[in-house]
Amino acid sequence: MATTTQAEAVKSRIAGEEVPIRLESVTHDYGKRVALDALSFTVGRAEIFGLLGPNGSGKTTLFRILSTLMVPTSGTATIEGFDVAREPNRVRQQTGIVFQARSLDPKLTVAENLKHQGHLYGLKGALLKMRIAEVLARVGLPDRAKELVETLSGGQQRRVELAKGLIHSPQVLLLDEPSTGLDPGARRDLWLYLQTLREQEGVTILVTTHLMEEAEHCDRLAILSEGRLVALGSPAELKSQIGGDVVIFETAGEEQAAQLAGLMANRFAVDAVVLGNAVRVEREQGHRFVTEVVEAFPGIVEGVSVAKPSLEDVFIDRTGHRFWNEAGAADETKKAAGGRTKKGRH
Amino acid sequence: MATATAATSPGRRMAVVPNPGVWTPAYSLWLREIVRFYRQKARVVGVIATPLLFWVLLGSGFARSFQTSAGSGSYLAYFFPGSVVMIVLFTAIFSMMSLIQDRNEGFLLSVLAAPVSRSAIVLGKVLGGATLAAIQGVIFLVFTPLVGIHPDAAAIGWSVLVIVLISFELTALGFAIAWPMDSPQAFHAIVNLILLPLWMLSGALFPADRASGWLGFLMRLNPLSYGVDALRNALFPAEHTLFSMQMNLAITAGFCVLVFGASWAIVNRRTHQPAA
């Protein structure tokens, strides 16, 4: 097979020129349904890159393509210069993958699981032994090697998953919803591991997530909605593109919200978006605007919040709808919405 | 090809991942099957005890009801090779059911995403299941004196060889059936539909030459018939069976290669659909 391109890829990798992850109009459809629509972006060396999107946005599809488990219907994706569709084994050698589902064998010990993984990546003997000790120390479980996986807690199992993905010292680490089922403490630990990994070993990390808090940890983000890339940049950059503050006016119902939006658009020439019972406006000096609105249209506004823009605001700004309004995410929506109300906005 | 690339810039290591080849991953997958098996004691007990019970109960019942003209007379003796094949079949089915579990749990994903040739995956998994099946089939040979068979070393040697081949073909067949499935229920439905009739029409229960025309024809088409007949050849060297040992072994070995090839082809597909 194309030995020259391989040789070139290896050469440019040695020169450190190769972009770790590159997507060029990657498109995927399952029959009629388009899951990914011409995605293009690159991920830089030693970057923590987040793929943020609600369920059904195409994250999982893209993750499957990058982990070589599926071939995109068109477009190309490369990891360390190797095409995921044409040179899957080259890609696999460079990439560590942590799946969302448990990939450990619960009937085997931690060390047996890691040994097995090492064997799949061609590691053997003393080198493998050393790597097992190294990765277990890396995830903070140096003394659990002999324990059966089924006896570990969920958080510890997650750490072993990470150790498993790191066994062959990959250049690129892909993680699918890594904090699923983790309590806040374990979640924080995970992000600390990822950051030290990036700093000390220069690993490029791609994380998919549907959690805004998690996305905030990333150096850069790609926000997906219905298979399209709707925003790309660092969390701070993306948020700064929104004008000033985000003001939300709660009203009694959808009619009132629409009415209020109309009134505000006429009076203040603002771009008011109706979101259910609420009207959302981006505005400099949000607190002044609140006073003006409440004085101008007394009785309609039932509640007000003024906040610095969040990533969700970026999402609303780019798509015109809420993050969790996507179809097919019904129960996830409830959970996430619950989390959101508790957090509130001020 | 392993391309060893040296560290380029400080603080950054290049992954030096050798090509794992076929044998190390296959060995690792094989070992996992064995370890999983003996860590689940109920499986060990069940797989030995069930066929033994089956053989005693069914064989005793049939022996009263039918007379066979087979040389050594008793139906229990006639039924013996079929029982061995039944144990092998049970274990093969059981172990390949773990394939569905692996898929549902995510273990299979991490294997598929590793730089391992797909033949290593099939080989490791099938050899693991086949080893367990063969060990149990061979253990069952201990009961031969109970039916009045006293095999010599050669007979035991041939029997072991045949058991190994049958174990491999049935496990590989189970693999090919289990691979596209995502539920144990669906697998069971197919097992009942295909694998059990395969065993019933293998000459395990009644000989093909005395079955009615179309049934006898089906039994001659059944690749497992040749495995059962080969075992009969090995255990009763004096007896005249339906086919010759050479023919039985050749067809059984050929079928091993065929189903292994089919499994490999199924696993090797890379498509626009999710792999697991």
The domain of A198 spans 3-234
Distance CA A272, CA A160 (A): 48
A229 and A251, same structural domain?
no
Do A222 and A249 share a domain, yes or no? Answer: no
Cα four-point dihedral sign B108, B109, B111, B117: positive
Euclidean distance between CA atoms A271 and A269, whole angstroms: 7
Q: Which residue has the higher pLDDT, A193 or A12?
A: A193
Both A201 and A251 in one domain: the answer is no
Report pLDDT for B70: 46
Q: Place A254 in a pLDDT band, splitting at 50, 70 and 90.
A: confident
Q: How far is it, in rounded angstroms, from Cα A316 to Cα A322?
A: 5
- Whether A117 and A180 map to the same domain: the answer is yes
**Interval A52-94: pLDDT, tens:** 988 888 898 999 999 999 999 999 999 999 999 999 999 999 9
Domain-ending residue, one of A184, A214, A234: A234
Co-location of A203 and A301 in the same domain? no
Take residue A162 and report the two structure tokens written for it. Answer: 């990470």
Higher-pLDDT residue of A321, B78: B78
Domain membership of residue B252 (yes or no) is: yes
Q: Are residues A49 and A179 in the same domain?
A: yes
Is A92 in Cβ contact with B271 (below 8 Å)?
no
Q: What is the pLDDT of residues A147-175, one digit of tens each?
A: 999 999 888 898 999 999 999 999 999 99
Tally of CA atoms within 13 A in the half-sphere of A15 that contains its CB: 10
Q: Give dist(CA A240, CA B233) in Å, integer.
A: 82
Asked if residue B118 belongs to a domain, the reply is yes
Q: What is the mean pLDDT of residues A209-236?
A: 90
| b/e code B200-237 from CB counts within 10 Å (16+ = b) | bbbbbbbbbeebeeeebeebbebbbbbbbbbbbbbbbe
pLDDT digits (tens, 9 = 90+) for B199-217: 999 988 888 777 788 888 8
The token duo for A213 is: 């808090």
Q: Which residues of B touch A107 (CB under 8 A)?
A: 35-36, 39-40
In chain A, which among 242-301 make CB contacts under 8 A with chain B?
none
pLDDT higher at B269 or A158: A158
Beta strands A33-43 and A204-209 are: unpaired
Do A188 and A326 have their domain in common? Answer: no
Dist. CA A310–CA A246, nearest whole Å: 9
Interface of A with B in 75-114 (CB under 8 A): 88-90, 92-95, 97, 99-105, 107-108, 112
**Residue-wise pLDDT tens digits, A117-131:** 999 999 989 999 999
Provide the β-strand partners of residue A206.
Answer: A49, A174
Kindly report the average pLDDT of chain A as a whole number. Answer: 84
Residues of A in contact with B116 (CB under 8 A): 120
| Domain-ending residue, one of A219, A234, A249 | A234
* Whether residues A223 and A249 fall in one domain: no
* Contacting B residues, span 4-63, partner chain A, CB-CB under 8 Å: 5-6, 8-9, 11-21, 24-25, 27-29, 31-32, 35-36, 39-40
Write the CATH number for A185.
3.40.50.300
> Which residues have CB under 8 Å from A320's CB, separation 6+?
A273
A175 and A242 in a common domain? no
What total number of domains does chain A contain?
A: 2
Host domain of residue B141: 23-268
Statement to judge: residues A176 and A91 lie in one domain:
yes
Beta bridge partners, A50, equal A207, A221
Same domain, A274 and A134: no
Tens of pLDDT, residues A21-45? 999 999 999 888 888 999 999 999 9
Number of domains making up chain B: 1
Establish if B197 belongs to a structural domain: yes
User: Number of C-alpha atoms within 13 angstroms, CB side, residue B26?
Assistant: 12
Tokens 């010292």 identify what position? A169
Question: Please, which pLDDT band fits residue B1 given cuts at 50, 70 and 90?
Answer: very low
Which of A10, A29, A121, A198 is best to mutate for the B interface (most B CBs within 10 A)? A121
Asked whether B194 and B178 are in contact (CB, 8 A), the reply is no
Is B276 contained in some domain?
A: no
**Interface TM-score (ipTM) > 0.90:** no
In a domain, B18, yes or no: no
Query: pLDDT tier at A289 (50, 70, 90 boundaries)?
Result: confident
Which of A234, A249, A269 is a domain's end point?
Answer: A234
Residues 201-240 of A with CB under 8 A from B: 201-202
Domain containing A330 — which CATH number? 3.30.70.940
